[in-house]
Structure 1
Amino acid sequence: MEQARIDIINLRLRTFIGFNPEELTKQQDIVINAQIYYPAMSACESDEESKALNYKTITKQMIAHVEDGHFKLLEKLTSDLLAIAMEPKIVSHATVQVEKPHALRFADSVSLTLSAKRAL
């Protein structure tokens, strides 16, 4: 079985993230990285888009969720995005990382990573 890994790299968006008073009223930058795995043998053999995972659809859902949302915790946002990545039944497993640049004074960013695997 050909196992494909789709990487969504450095998807940069803005959203309301945090629970401090300033964070509740001002959007902040976030950076999303995702790895989505699916069996791609059929797509590799047929060269038919209907046999492949549509990463553009997944990315559009992630963008809409982030831009329309208000989140207190990175955990919640990351969990929501992981659920979006896992929604297509063809996905075998996925990992999503959400990075919050400038969250700490002396660090480039803070990030949270969650993974999920479909039960066989």
Structure 2
Amino acid sequence: MPQLTPGMARIRVKNLMLRTFIGINDDEVRNKQDVLINLSILYPASDAVAGNQIEQALNYRTITKAIINHVENNRFALLERLTQELLDLVMSYPQVRYAEVEVDKPHALRFAESVSVTLSNSREA
């Protein structure tokens, strides 16, 4: 993950618990399962810091609502595909310079708390 530099802000959304259809087994296709989503987003925040106006900031509520809508209203065979689609959604906001998305599928393996996939992307200013 890139280091913070002056003027940049890191937004983290931690442990967003949602339900969706995820997997390829019959029971996974028929029943929604929990997924746990964590985001880390870097964006230039100098204007937001100076102006104290929401229009100058990256609105994490808007991004989170879009993620909730996407996850809850779609089906996914693979955790990798869900993670990539969420990363693409976050990167669709032009202010985002770097994003990392981790999606956990709790209890996917018998003796593990969860299985997760993490993907990241970045763009130049």
Asked if 1:54 corresponds to 2:62, the answer is no
Q: Take 2:69 and 2:123, find their aligned partners in 1: how far apart are those partners?
A: 24
Residue 75 of structure 1: CA displacement?
A: 0.6
Provide the residue aligned with 1:110 in structure 2.
115
Question: What is the percent sequence identity of the aligned residues?
Answer: 52
Asked if 1:17 corresponds to 2:22, the answer is yes
Q: Take 1:48 and 1:56, find their aligned partners in 2: how far apart are those partners?
A: 15
Q: Take 1:105 and 1:75, find their aligned partners in 2: how far apart are those partners?
A: 20
Asked if 1:98 corresponds to 2:97, the answer is no
Give 5+ residue unaligned stretches, structure 2.
Answer: 1-5
Q: Take 2:54 and 2:117, find their aligned partners in 1: how far apart are those partners?
A: 32
Computed over aligned residues only, the root mean square deviation of the Cα atoms, in angstroms, reads 0.8
Deviations 1:82-105 (A, max 9, x none): 011111101101000000000000
Provide the residue aligned with 1:42 in structure 2.
47
Residue 119 of structure 1: CA displacement?
A: 3.8
User: What is the total number of aligned residue pairs between the two structures?
Assistant: 120
Residue 118 of structure 1: CA displacement?
A: 1.1
Deviations 1:46-100 (A, max 9, x none): 1111100011110000000000010000011000100111111011010000000
TM-score, normalised relative to structure 2:
0.93
